[in-house]
């Protein structure tokens, strides 16, 4: 059996240990065409609400990847910590970034995925969700997004 703790493709999220409510919402948005992710196009067509809930429960029960994530850059880590605090990331994602209900877990996600997702929010390319993240990341520079992604991917407070 394949290890599902890590996302198998670069720049994709790890679903293991993610919030069940978040997963159901995202799969519903994908199925209904309200969130555009070309790689997922059609994969959820015909899937019932019950099946979405069952799939979400399965992934939510899995243990998130907790292995090495590459080399830590202390300067980027410190800058990312400052940004997480000033942008209020912990107010929705919780102080340890584990997420809650319909707010996703950020810890144990890949750095490249996090950076891409944040840029998509900032640049209004991420649709089908509320606009909170778009507002938070509005005008955040690429370098700061990279530092924030680095911090969250290597979150030291576990």
User: pLDDT per residue over 40-70, tens digit each?
Assistant: 878 999 999 999 999 999 999 999 877 667 8
- pLDDT for residue 1 is more than 50: no
- 112 occurs within a structural domain: yes
- 52 occurs within a structural domain: no
Rounded to whole angstroms, the Cα distance separating 30 from 105 reads 19
Three-state SS for 119?
Answer: helix
Domain residue limits at 106: 74-153
- 10 occurs within a structural domain: no
Measured over the CA atoms of residue 23, residue 28, residue 29 and residue 33, the dihedral's sign is positive
Number of domains in the chain: 1
- 31 occurs within a structural domain: no
CATH of the domain at 109: 1.10.760.10
- 100 occurs within a structural domain: yes
Model confidence band, residue 9 (pLDDT cutoffs 50, 70, 90): low
Model confidence band, residue 39 (pLDDT cutoffs 50, 70, 90): confident
pTM confidence score: 0.88
Rounded to whole angstroms, the Cα distance separating 33 from 22 reads 17
- 23 occurs within a structural domain: no
Give me 133's structure tokens: 């993240």
């Amino acid at each position: 059996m394949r290890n599902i703790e890590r996302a198998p493709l670069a720049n994709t999220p790890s679903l293991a240990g993610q919030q069940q409510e978040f997963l159901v919402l995202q799969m519903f948005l994908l199925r209904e065409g309200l969130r555009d992710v070309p790689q997922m196009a059609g994969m959820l067509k015909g899937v019932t609400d019950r099946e979405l809930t069952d799939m979400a429960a399965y992934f939510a029960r899995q243990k998130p990847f907790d292995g090495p994530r590459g080399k830590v850059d202390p300067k980027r880590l410190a800058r990312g910590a400052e940004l997480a605090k000033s942008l209020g990331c912990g107010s929705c994602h919780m102080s340890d970034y584990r997420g809650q209900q319909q707010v996703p877990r950020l810890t144990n996600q890949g750095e490249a995925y996090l950076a891409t997702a944040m840029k998509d929010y900032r640049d209004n390319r991420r649709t089908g969700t509320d606009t909170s993240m778009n507002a938070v990341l509005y005008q955040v520079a690429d370098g700061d997004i990279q530092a924030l992604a680095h911090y969250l991917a290597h979150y030291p407070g576990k």
